Amino acid sequence: MFLGENTKDKSMNTSLILLFLIFFSIHYSISAQRNFLTTSYALEELKEMLVMNQKWVNYPDYSNRKAWDSLFGNQKQILIENGEAYLDYKWQVVKATDYLDYTRTGNRETMQVPYFENQDAIGALILAELAEGKGRFLDKIIDGVFMNCEMTSWVLSAHFRLSPKEVKNHFPDRNENLIGLYSSQTGAMLSWAYYFLNKEFDKVNPLISERIQYEVKKRILEPYMNMNYWWTALPPYAKNKPKVNNWNPWCNANVLQCFMLMENDKDKLAQAVYRSMQSIDMFINEDKDGACDEGPGYWGVAAGKMFDYLDLLEKLTSVKVSIFDKPEIKAMAEYVYRANVGKGWVVNFSDASAKAKGNPYFIYAFGKAVASQDMMNFAAYLKNENPESMIAYKRDINRTLKNATISKALENTTPVFKTPEYSWYPKTEYCFMTNKEGLFLAAKGGYNQENHNHNDVGAFMFYANATPIFIDTGVGSYTAKTFGPERYTIWTMQSNYHNVPLINGVAQRPGAKFKATNTSFNKNKKTFTADISKAYPENAEVTSWIRTYQLQKNGLSIKDQFSLSETKAPNQLNFMTWGDVDINTPGKVMIQVDKEKVELFYNKQEFSVALKPIELNEKKLSNVWGKTIYRLSFTAKSLQKEGEYTFQIKKKK
**Residue 428 sits in the same domain as residue 377:** no
The residue among 388, 418, 448 that closes a domain is: 418
- 488 inside domain: yes
The residue among 348, 383, 418 that closes a domain is: 418
**Residue 598 sits in the same domain as residue 631:** yes
- 550 inside domain: yes
**Residue 214 sits in the same domain as residue 304:** no
**Residue 285 sits in the same domain as residue 409:** yes
pLDDT digits (tens, 9 = 90+) for 147-180: 999 999 999 999 986 444 555 568 898 988 999 9
Q: Which residue has the higher pLDDT, 34 or 162?
A: 34
d(CA 483, CA 472): 19
* pLDDT band with cut points at 50, 70 and 90 for residue 285: very high
- 27 inside domain: no
Q: What percentage of the chain carries pLDDT values higher than 90?
A: 86
- 64 inside domain: yes
pLDDT digits (tens, 9 = 90+) for 209-265: 999 999 999 999 999 999 888 999 998 776 666 679 999 999 999 999 999 999 999
What confidence score (pLDDT) does residue 653 get? 80
Residues 6+ apart with CB under 8 A from 532: 445, 457, 458, 500, 516, 545, 546, 547
When mean pLDDT is compared across 18-27, 65-74, 328-337, the lowest value belongs to 18-27
pLDDT digits (tens, 9 = 90+) for 195-212: 999 999 999 999 999 999
**Residue 248 sits in the same domain as residue 219:** no
Structural domain for 203, as ranges = 55-227
- 40 inside domain: yes
Q: What is the mean pLDDT of residues 271-292?
A: 94
**Residue 414 sits in the same domain as residue 429:** no
**Residue 342 sits in the same domain as residue 397:** yes
Residue 506 has pLDDT above 60, yes or no: yes
**Residue 208 sits in the same domain as residue 238:** no
CB 177 within 8 A of CB 239: no
What confidence score (pLDDT) does residue 87 get? 98
Q: What is the mean pLDDT of residues 341-368?
A: 95
**Residue 394 sits in the same domain as residue 429:** no
d(CA 505, CA 145): 57
The residue among 227, 247, 269 that closes a domain is: 227
Residue 266 has pLDDT above 60, yes or no: yes
Which CATH number belongs to the domain containing residue 412 in this structure? 1.50.10.100
- DSSP for 313-381 reads HHHHTTTSS--TT-HHHHHHHHHHHHTEEETTEE---SS--SB----HHHHHHHHHHTT-HHHHHHHHH
SS3 of the chain: helix, strand, coil, percent, to 5: 45, 20, 35
Q: What is the mean pLDDT of residues 48-70?
A: 98
Q: Is 469 helix (H, G, I), strand (E, B) or coil?
A: strand
What confidence score (pLDDT) does residue 166 get? 54
pLDDT digits (tens, 9 = 90+) for 74-83: 999 999 999 9
- 507 inside domain: yes
- 173 inside domain: yes
What confidence score (pLDDT) does residue 240 get? 66
User: 52, 58, 115: which is closest to 261 by C-alpha?
Assistant: 52
Buried b (16+ CB within 10 A) or exposed e, 593-625: beebbbbbebeeebbebeeeebebeeeebeebb
Which CATH number belongs to the domain containing residue 626 in this structure? 2.70.98.70
* pLDDT band with cut points at 50, 70 and 90 for residue 12: very low
**Residue 288 sits in the same domain as residue 387:** yes
Q: What is the mean pLDDT of residues 494-507?
A: 98
**Residue 467 sits in the same domain as residue 611:** yes
What is this structure's pTM?
A: 0.92
Q: How many domains does the chain have?
A: 3
pLDDT digits (tens, 9 = 90+) for 512-530: 999 999 999 999 999 999 9
- 71 inside domain: yes
**Residue 380 sits in the same domain as residue 504:** no
What confidence score (pLDDT) does residue 165 get? 52
Q: What percentage of the chain carries pLDDT values higher than 70?
A: 93
Average pLDDT of every residue of the chain: 92
